[in-house]
A = this chain, B = another copy of it.
Amino acid sequence: MLKKIVLTGAAGRCGSILRPALAAMCETLVCSDIVDSIDGLAANETYVKADLADYAAIAALMDGVEMVCHFGAIVDEGPFEELLGPNFIGSYNVWESAQKAGARRIVYASSIHAVGMHPRQSYIGTDAAHRPDTFYGLAKCFSEDLGRMYWEKRGIESVHLRILSCAPVKNARALGTWLSDDDLVRLVERAIDTPTTGFAVIYGVSDNDRSPVDNSNAAFLGYKPQDNAEQFAEEILAAEGPGNPADLAQMVHGGPFGPVPLGQGGAAAAAKGDD
């Protein structure tokens, strides 16, 4: 039983799913987000509104913290200037203040968009080179590198969950990329209960037949997803019809997130089936 967990992004989709599980793992769960309030606080939960870009506000959450679940961010592509505060500076603020407060570990909601330009036909492992597909993904790259430096130079652990798609399955791509709500909980539980992790990266994806990524390097975490999007395959494939291999969004891991002007620049390179 941990003394204190801090959860950023507590009002978001993932944060809302995680709150009950986190509350069960600690004496005090401090939830934080940019909204004024959240509903349904458990007895050992508190909510503090805080702007991720405001160092003092974030540092104020950290007193006595053991474990930080950093899920706060703008969760859509946007201009660099808009993401700079919450998604870049926010990560720095979380790591710097958590480390100063003596936290053991940060569990971070990274994303497939950190490596989204890899061709989907390459079975990328957790050590795949950064190839962001958006400014959103670039912020994930930045936070992973930051987390690695804080581990290697200051000894604070971090587990980076590269979530593929934590949302209902609505298209053929999601048959491979789905992370069910229950599997998200399982993943975060493992990222917390593993006694030591150092710096680790793991893909957040269910046990889908068509899962396109390789978690074997993170085997020691013992994450075993239980759900499988194949249950939706027949209906979705019938509805969607044949794919178009000339459409870059269908050929890279990141999919159609963000405006990818087809055929422009070197982007089409990522579409090839092997590398």
A interface residues with partner B (beta carbon < 8 Å):
1-2, 66, 80, 84, 88-89, 92, 96, 104, 117, 119-123, 127, 129-134, 137-138, 141-142, 145-146, 148-157, 172, 175-176, 193-200, 208-214, 216-224, 230, 233, 237-238, 240, 242-247, 250-251, 260-261, 263-275
Contact = CB atoms under 8 A, between A and B. Distances in A.
A21 to B, nearest CB: 14
A264 B195 contact: no
A92 B139 CA distance: 12
Number of copies: 6
Contacts of A240: 195
Nearest to A154: B265
Contacts of A216: 123, 214
Contacts of A242: 2, 66, 104, 195
Contacts of A123: 216-220
Given A146-B138, A155-B265, A272-B198, A220 B214 contact: no
A266 B272 contact: yes
B120 A149 contact: no
Nearest to A158: B273
A253 to B, nearest CB: 9
Contacts of A221: 210
Nearest to A1: B238
A251 B155 CA distance: 13
Contacts of A1: 238
Given A96-B80, A155-B246, A269 B267 contact: no
A157 B245 contact: yes
A230 B145 CA distance: 32
Contacts of A156: 265
A4 to B, nearest CB: 13
B197 A152 contact: no
